[in-house]
């Protein structure tokens, strides 16, 4: 979840000053997203695809999330269901969102793989539906709505950093920002924009341009935020041991704003070159990014502690709008011992748990350590280089990346 004020100063979740490299980052990420969209929806071949995006036989099926708006009158839902039946479409789940004289019907559908989205929209239009929206779904969406919401509430109750992820899972594809300032009393619903009171101060702004929010969705999101506010800050305290090549063991644990002083001390022990590689901007500005990066509102942070109790490395998984960034900082004296790779593998595991489709890292093209760590994941990688800035994007495959 990207801080609006910080975004104006940094442009990305890294906390780096706006510089020419940021244009390269945006170009690389946009190219990657376009390529992934073509792969996901089978646009390259122009052939019908199955639920996994591959060409399938005649009996192959696909999952779709669909919304359509109908008049609130007897028989309107029956007409929609009958139209779907004529297209051999199976209704797996249905939710209704009342809007006075209209109702938004939200479906999870299993369709023949050959049924194109525009044909699905035509079926609904002929049955009285309007403002129809379709999007590919996957097997995660097969969980019924009450079970899914209870699961989100449970995860949010255990970890403050889960709130933005819970909201994104609840509301679908959207952009979430935390904006400082006065906390609104109740929040507001403004079409494709939700404003919610942030228990940490300020407000949470959720945007979803492709389909407006409904009062039902606003109520659900508000309930999650209220739960977070009542429980207060929560950070899991489990720790893991990592044995280094020389035999010494360090501790990997979650970190938050309470580690700010130790993180600043680590900055002071880092060389200018190490800080420059991490923050891509003036070294003198590095310290002021730490509070933002350690906040669970903007992502998750892992810390590595030496046997003496000093912080010697930080790994950040940052919610950058609807994308996810991984960033690493390892103190000079502790580099080239496998700490960065171990942190990155754990961050990727967290991203997979959060159902992120990809994770990108922004670094200098000369940073061979970060490139090696990304290659060591064993995942499909995309490399984009412009003006000395390297953006490496890892596609998260279904196979687990186990921590070492």
41-83 confidence digits (pLDDT tens): 443 333 444 444 444 445 799 999 999 999 999 999 999 999 9
pLDDT at 212 over 80: yes
> Does residue 336 or residue 282 have the better pLDDT?
336
**pLDDT at residue 396, rounded to an integer:** 87
Strands (E), 88-226: 90-98, 102-112, 130-136, 175-179, 188-190, 193-197, 203-207
**pLDDT at residue 325, rounded to an integer:** 93
**pLDDT at residue 29, rounded to an integer:** 52
**pLDDT at residue 169, rounded to an integer:** 85
**pLDDT at residue 10, rounded to an integer:** 36
Q: How many CB atoms sit inside 10 A of residue 12's CB?
A: 24
Of 11-25, 77-91, 134-148, 210-224, the poorest mean pLDDT is in: 11-25
- Structure token pair of residue 48: 């019908």
Q: Is 348 helix (H, G, I), strand (E, B) or coil?
A: helix
Give the mean pLDDT of 36-44.
Answer: 43
Closest CA to 246 of 304, 303, 306, 309: 306
Give the mean pLDDT of 292-319.
Answer: 92
CA distances from 121 to 87, 211, 221, 283 (A): 11, 15, 28, 53
The contacts of residue 36 (CB under 8 Å, 6+ apart) are: 357, 358, 395
**pLDDT at residue 5, rounded to an integer:** 34
- Structure token pair of residue 144: 């019924």
Contact present, 171 and 206 (Cβ < 8 Å): yes
The number of C-alpha atoms within 13 Å of 286 and in the hemisphere containing its C-beta is 22
Contact present, 86 and 123 (Cβ < 8 Å): yes
Closest CA to 271 of 137, 172, 279: 279
Of 40-49, 351-360, 385-394, the poorest mean pLDDT is in: 40-49
Return the DSSP state at 135.
E
- Give the percent of the chain with pLDDT over 70: 83
**pLDDT at residue 357, rounded to an integer:** 85
Contact present, 297 and 1 (Cβ < 8 Å): yes
Q: CA–CA separation, 270 vs 360, rounded Å?
A: 24
**pLDDT at residue 58, rounded to an integer:** 56
Contact present, 155 and 164 (Cβ < 8 Å): no
Q: CA–CA separation, 91 vs 97, rounded Å?
A: 17
Query: H or E element: which one contains 311?
Result: strand 311-320
**pLDDT at residue 7, rounded to an integer:** 36
- Structure token pair of residue 392: 């490496």
Give just the sign of the alpha carbon dihedral 157, 158, 160, 162: negative
pLDDT-derived band at 94 (thresholds 50, 70, 90) equals very high
pLDDT at 32 over 70: no
pLDDT at 217 over 80: yes
> How does the average pLDDT of the chain come out, rounded?
82
Q: CA–CA separation, 163 vs 130, rounded Å?
A: 33
pLDDT at 291 over 80: yes
pLDDT at 258 over 70: yes
Strand order in the sheet with 389-395: 239-243, 249-255, 299-305, 311-320, 323-330, 358-364, 389-395, 381-386
Contact present, 298 and 318 (Cβ < 8 Å): yes
pLDDT at 358 over 50: yes
pLDDT at 221 over 50: yes
pLDDT-derived band at 183 (thresholds 50, 70, 90) equals low
Q: Tens of pLDDT along 119-160? A: 999 999 999 999 999 988 887 777 878 888 888 899 888 888
Give the mean pLDDT of 203-219.
Answer: 91
**pLDDT at residue 299, rounded to an integer:** 87
CA distances from 389 to 4, 339, 363, 402 (A): 23, 23, 6, 29
Looking at 51-144, list the stretches that DSSP marks H as alpha helix, in order from N- to C-terminal side: 76-86, 117-126
Characterize 245-261 residue by residue with b for buried, 16 or more Cβ atoms within 10 angstroms of its Cβ, and e for exposed: eeeeebebbbbbbebbe
**pLDDT at residue 30, rounded to an integer:** 53
> Does residue 125 or residue 280 have the better pLDDT?
125
Q: Are strands 389-395 and 90-98 parallel, antiparallel or unpaired?
A: unpaired
Q: Name the most confidently modeled range: 253-262, 273-282, 348-357.
A: 253-262
The contacts of residue 289 (CB under 8 Å, 6+ apart) are: 10, 14, 15, 16, 279
């Amino acid at each position: 979840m990207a801080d609006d004020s910080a975004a104006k100063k940094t442009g990305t979740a890294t906390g780096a000053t706006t510089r020419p490299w940021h244009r390269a980052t945006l170009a690389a990420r946009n190219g990657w997203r376009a390529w992934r969209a073509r792969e996901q929806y089978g646009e390259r071949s122009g052939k019908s695809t199955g639920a996994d995006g591959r060409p399938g036989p005649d009996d192959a099926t696909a999952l779709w999330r669909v919304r359509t708006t109908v008049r609130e009158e007897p028989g309107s839902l029956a007409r929609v269901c009958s139209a779907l039946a004529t297209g051999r479409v199976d209704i797996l789940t249905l939710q209704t969102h009342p809007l006075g004289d209209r109702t938004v019907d939200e479906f999870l559908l299993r369709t023949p793989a050959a049924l194109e989205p525009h044909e699905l929209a035509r079926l609904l239009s002929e049955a009285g539906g309007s403002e129809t929206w379709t999007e590919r779904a996957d097997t995660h969406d097969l969980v019924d709505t009450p079970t899914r919401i209870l699961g989100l509430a449970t995860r949010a109750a255990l970890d403050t950093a889960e709130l933005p992820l819970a909201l994104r899972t609840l509301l679908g594809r959207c952009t979430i920002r935390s904006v400082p300032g006065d906390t609104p009393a109740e929040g507001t619903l403004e079409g494709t924009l939700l404003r919610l009171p942030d228990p940490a101060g300020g407000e949470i702004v959720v945007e979803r341009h492709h389909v407006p929010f409904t009062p039902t969705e606003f109520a659900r999101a508000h309930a999650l935020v209220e739960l977070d506010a009542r429980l207060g800050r929560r950070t899991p305290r489990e720790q893991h041991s990592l044995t280094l090549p020389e035999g010494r063991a360090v501790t990997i644990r979650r970190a938050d704003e309470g580690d700010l002083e130790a993180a600043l001390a680590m900055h002071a022990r880092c060389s200018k070159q190490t800080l420059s590689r991490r923050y891509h901007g003036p070294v003198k500005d590095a310290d002021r990014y730490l509070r933002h990066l350690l906040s669970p509102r903007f992502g998750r942070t892992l810390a590595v502690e030496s046997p003496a109790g000093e912080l010697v490395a930080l790994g950040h998984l940052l919610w950058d709008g609807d994308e996810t960034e991984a960033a690493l900082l390892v103190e000079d004296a502790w580099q080239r011992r496998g700490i960065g790779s171990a942190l990155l593998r754990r961050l990727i595991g967290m991203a997979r748990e959060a159902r992120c489709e990809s994770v990108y890292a922004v670094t200098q093209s000369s940073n061979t350590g970060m490139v090696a760590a990304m290659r060591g994941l064993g995942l499909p990688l995309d490399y984009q280089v412009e003006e000395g800035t390297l953006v490496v994007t890892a596609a998260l495959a279904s196979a687990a990346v186990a921590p070492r």
